[in-house]
Structure 1
Amino acid sequence: MADKTFRLDVVAPDAALYSGDATLMVAQTTVGQIGIMANHEPMLGELAAGGCVVLTEAGGARKAMAVQGGFLSVTADTVTVLAESAQFSDEIDVAAERAVLESATEGSEEFLRAKSRVRAVEAVS
């Protein structure tokens, strides 16, 4: 039986946010949402502005990260997310980010950053 996990690394210019084994990763790309499981076909994807990455660890725990642009690379047994910036959902003040969504111009960098952060929190709520 094929292994049900793959290696996942999420890195940003200022930090390596996550490195471990996962059973599932879901991300918003510029062509839509994609789910990655073990033994996925190799691919490259551009992460969408205002998106997030949600992962399910090998032990079953779910984690989410607000991700501001970047790329993902899938190989035979590894997924690498190279984000322009990223933040774990448990570090986000969702009330403050919802306030930004209300006041920011839709499509602006500020709006997309807040949208990403709210998505990440909601993904694991």
Structure 2
Amino acid sequence: MPIHLKIVTAEREVFADDVDMVSAPTREGRVGILPRHAPLLSILTSGELGIVKGGERTPFAVSGGFMQVLPTNIIILADTVERADEIDESRAETAVRLAEEQRASAKSEQDMALAEAKLRKEMVRLQVARIKEAGRRQGRS
């Protein structure tokens, strides 16, 4: 018995389908959600959002938001979310370098906090892009 997952941002619906499991980064730590899970409302942090359907794992990069879990469905309202196949690895590497430079040149605590949040977001994007690339390389072998 699957659980229905819907992932949306302010701009678009990213995903809507029945899945077997969801693994999400929350303020309390990583949580795994299976069908018939107890109701839960959680704040998401930057990290990899993993979805398992039919034994296949699909990674997403999420940068925050909220997750509502009910026994038969999950709704994720994300600040930003990207499928692994939407992320260009070389552009993600460039974004990480720029965020590191921003952090190094921060002049105030507020600038430092913003730069560190940007760096976390870009590092997650790069990590998820690399998961996608590793899967492609394994498929070629």
Quick check: which has more Rg, 1 or 2?
2
Tell me, yes or no, if the aligned pair for 1:54 and 1:120 is still in contact at 8 Å.
no
Aligned residues: 120
1:123 to partner: Cα distance: 4.5
Partner of 2:55: 60
Q: Secondary structure at the match of 2:38?
A: coil
1:86 to partner: Cα distance: 1.1
Amino acid at match of 1:26: S
Q: 1:86 aligns with which of 77, 81, 88?
A: 81
Partner of 1:34: 31
Gaps of at least 5 residues in structure 1 are: none
Q: 1:95 aligns with which of 90, 98, 110?
A: 90
Question: Percent identity over the alignment?
Answer: 25
Please show how residues 105-120 of structure 1 align to structure 2 within 5 Å.
105=103, 108=115, 109-120=117-128
Tell me, yes or no, if the aligned pair for 1:29 and 1:45 is still in contact at 8 Å.
yes
Gaps of at least 5 residues in structure 2 are: 104-111, 135-141
CA RMSD in angstroms comes to 1.8
Q: 1:18 aligns with which of 8, 15, 18?
A: 15
Tell me, yes or no, if the aligned pair for 1:10 and 1:81 is still in contact at 8 Å.
yes
Partner of 1:69: 64
Could you say which structure has the higher helix fraction?
Answer: 2
Could you say which structure has the higher strand fraction?
Answer: 1
Tell me, yes or no, if the aligned pair for 1:28 and 1:53 is still in contact at 8 Å.
yes
Amino acid at match of 2:43: E
TM-score normalised over the length of structure 1 = 0.84
1:58-89 Cα deviation digits (max 9, x unpaired)? x3332121112100000011011110111111
How far apart, in 2, do the equivalents of 1:44 and 1:119 lie?
26
